[in-house]
Amino acid sequence: MNAIVLSDFARNWDAQDGSLLSLKGRSLIFHALSGEHDVAQSLLGELHLLRGRFPGFAAIRDIASGSVPLHKIGSVVYVGNPLDSVSLARILAESTERCAQWLDLPPPQIVLQCMPQRCHLYYTLICFPGLAIIRLSMMPDSLGEVRFIVFQEVCHAFLHCGVRLLDEGLAHYFATHFVDPTHALISQAKYSGLSDIHELLTMNGDGLFGNNVCRDSGDYRAAVSSGAQLIECLINAAGIDHLKVLFLRISQSTSDAEIIELIEATLGHRLPHSARYGCYF
């Protein structure tokens, strides 16, 4: 298989495009915090011209208009009311610093939204490169589990490719590595209907990773475990820098077959069909 090659032109274009979006996104948040909503709304218009209707557009529109207020406590920007500003700020700062060092990437602008829901719900809404909203509902009582959750969500804000198996796997791998090395990867969990890794490496992951899927289900936990183990194999085979390039290429792919081909090129061999025990060699 041919090694993955990304031209300097394409790499630089993506970097410049992402940097411009990030700069305008940060500026929008700054002006919204300052109460300069006319400026913030003007920047939103520029972002829309650059990006189109991006994920999180409605949430950023509400922030820009001032209909949903922003608060800054220390270095943390909140939309709505914070749950526990002291511990969350500390954990967010730690996870952001760790992830920036690990991936060698500039920190994105992260906005925390604490939702008054009596359930455990956490996810990251990627608006565009450099700006993400992390939504948290009722947090677990265990501080260690809170750290694990925040580390996962922060990793999503830094790097993602749109394939849920890889995105969830990377976040779980990062949190496991830096928070709790003993955290169970559920490698022995059994799938009820998905035994083929090729079925999981898809741009349409809602069947297993959608918002209505129970995160305590065996299938979900086993899939996340499988993704984390695949990420570990990719890092061991090619390193973090190549993983970042791989994620960029996957985000630009047009088919599931191309995704699998890119992964196999990085590993240097074909993916086996069985991922039941996380064996990718």
What share of the chain has pLDDT > 70, as a percent?
77
Averaged confidence pLDDT in the chain:
81
**Burial class, 99, CB count within 10 angstroms (exposed 0-12 / middle 13-18 / buried 19+):** buried
Mean pLDDT of 169-195: 70
pLDDT tens column, 222-251: 788 889 989 999 999 999 999 999 999 999
Please give the DSSP secondary-structure letter assigned to residue 130: T
pLDDT tens column, 133-143: 998 877 777 88
Backbone angles phi, psi at 127, to 5 degrees: -80, -50
Whether residue 245 contacts residue 15, with contact meaning beta carbons closer than 8 Å, is answered with no
DSSP assignments along 21-77, one per residue: HHHHHHHHHHHHHTT-HHHHHHHHHHHHHHH-S-TTHHHHHHHHHTSS-EEEETTEE
- CA–CA separation, 164 and 204 (whole Å): 8
Contacts of 107 (CB under 8 A, 6+ apart): 96, 97, 99, 100, 158
Mean pLDDT of 72-82: 81
Backbone angles phi, psi at 181, to 5 degrees: -60, -20
Check residue 59 and give its pLDDT.
93
- CA–CA separation, 125 and 156 (whole Å): 9
Strand partners, 123: 135
Element of type H or E holding 225: helix 218-238
Check residue 280 and give its pLDDT.
47
3-state DSSP assignment of residue 109 = strand
Domain ranges within the chain, ordered by starting residue: 160-281
Check residue 11 and give its pLDDT.
41
Whether residue 247 contacts residue 256, with contact meaning beta carbons closer than 8 Å, is answered with no
Check residue 144 and give its pLDDT.
86
DSSP assignments along 141-181, one per residue: S-HHHHHHHHHHHHHHHH---S-HHHHHHHHHHHHHHHT-T
Check residue 143 and give its pLDDT.
83
